[in-house]
């Protein structure tokens, strides 16, 4: 039986597939979980050259230096074949505090999850509920 965390990571993987579609040659591989966060390696070969990124997924309200270090450690221990300096990407919920993230790490806000105040919410579900309420009142 899967946990809520597994389901949440499935939504993130779907988002990555939309951003990096396989029809464009992108391959997405899971990286063994390190701590509370999980990661992915995204790569492709295009016109004879390789491109790739390491993606760490964090659902924390505030991104700490520990999270950034976990991303760098993941990149060091799981090289992307054919790519000398892969991009580092951190996926965080919308509204997460990412001010301390260094410039060499790209931050991708999740489309499925975000913070409303201090609460992590499933944004798609909130949108569906809002649409149903609006339809009933019309």
At CA 65, angle to CA 36 and CA 109, rounded to 5?
Answer: 70
Is the model's pLDDT at 133 over the cut of 50? no
* Least confident range of 26-30, 31-35, 46-50, 71-75: 31-35
pLDDT tens profile 81-132:
889 889 999 999 999 999 989 999 999 999 989 998 889 988 876 555 454 4
Q: Which residue has the higher pLDDT, 43 or 134?
A: 43
User: Which string of DSSP letters, residue by residue, matches 47-96?
Assistant: TTEEEEEEEEE---SB--HHHHHHHHHHHHHSPPTT-SS-EEEEEEEET-
Which domain covers residue 59, as residue numbers? 4-137
Q: Which residue has the tokens 């899971």?
A: 30
Q: Which residue has the higher pLDDT, 105 or 47?
A: 105
Domain count, the chain: 1
* Mean pLDDT of the residues in the chain: 85
pLDDT for 122: 87
pTM of model > 0.75:
yes
* Interval 52-67 mean pLDDT: 94
């Amino acid at each position: 039986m899967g946990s809520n965390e597994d389901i949440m990571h499935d939504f993130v993987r779907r988002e990555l597939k939309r951003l990096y579609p396989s029809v464009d040659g992108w391959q997405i591989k899971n990286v063994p979980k390190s701590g509370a966060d999980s990661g992915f390696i995204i790569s492709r070969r295009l016109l004879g050259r390789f491109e790739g990124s390491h993606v760490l997924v964090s659902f924390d309200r505030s991104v700490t230096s520990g999270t950034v270090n976990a991303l760098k450690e993941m990149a060091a221990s799981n090289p992307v074949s054919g790519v000398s300096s892969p991009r580092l990407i951190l996926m965080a919920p919308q509204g997460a505090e990412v001010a301390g993230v260094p410039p060499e790490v790209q931050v991708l806000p999740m489309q499925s999850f975000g913070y409303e105040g201090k609460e992590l919410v499933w944004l798609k579900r909130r949108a569906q509920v809002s649409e149903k309420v609006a339809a009933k009142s019309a």
